[in-house]
Homo-oligomer: A and B are copies of this chain.
Amino acid sequence: MSNSLGTIFKITSFGESHGPSIGIVIDGCPAGLVIDSDFIQSELLRRRPGQSKITTARNETEAFEIISGVFEGKSTGAPITIIIANSDARSKDYDHNVKVYRPSHADYTYQEKYGHRDHRGGGRTSARITAGWVAAGAIAKQILAHKKINVQAYVSQVGTVKLETPYTSLDLSKTESNMVRCPDEAVANKMIALIEQTKKDGDTIGGVVSCVVSNMPVGLGEPVFNKLHAGLGHAMLSINAVKGVEFGSGFEGSAMKGSEHNDLFEPGVKISTQTNHSGGIQGGISNGEDVVFSVAFKPVATIMKEQATVDEFGKAAIIKGKGRHDPCVVPRAVPIVESMAAIVLADFVLRAQSTTLEH
Q: B67 and A19: CB pair below 8 A?
A: yes
Chain B residues with CB under 8 Å of A4's CB are 4, 10, 12, 27, 225
* Interface assignment of A75: CB less than 8 Å from any CB of chain B: yes
Q: B219 and A112: CB pair below 8 A?
A: yes
Nearest Cβ distance between residue A270 and chain B, in whole angstroms? 7
Surface stretch bound by B, among A38-46, A55-63, A102-110, A184-192: A102-110
How far is A78 from B258 in the complex, measured between Cα atoms in Å?
Answer: 27
Chain B residues with CB under 8 Å of A357's CB are 30, 32-33, 143, 146
Provide 24 A-B residue pairs closer than 8 Å at the C-beta atoms, listed in order of the A residue: A3-B225, A20-B67, A30-B355, A30-B356, A31-B356, A76-B117, A108-B218, A108-B287, A109-B219, A109-B285, A113-B221, A125-B283, A159-B257, A204-B259, A205-B256, A206-B257, A229-B237, A230-B238, A231-B234, A244-B246, A246-B296, A258-B302, A261-B298, A350-B355
Q: B270 and A109: CB pair below 8 A?
A: no
How many chain A residues touch B (CB < 8 A): the figure is 151
How far is A259 from B351 in the complex, measured between Cα atoms in Å?
Answer: 42
- CB contact between A103 and one of B71, B129, B263, B356 (< 8 Å): that residue: B263
Q: B31 and A2: CB pair below 8 A?
A: no
Q: A115 and B238: CB pair below 8 A?
A: no
Nearest Cβ distance between residue A285 and chain B, in whole angstroms? 4
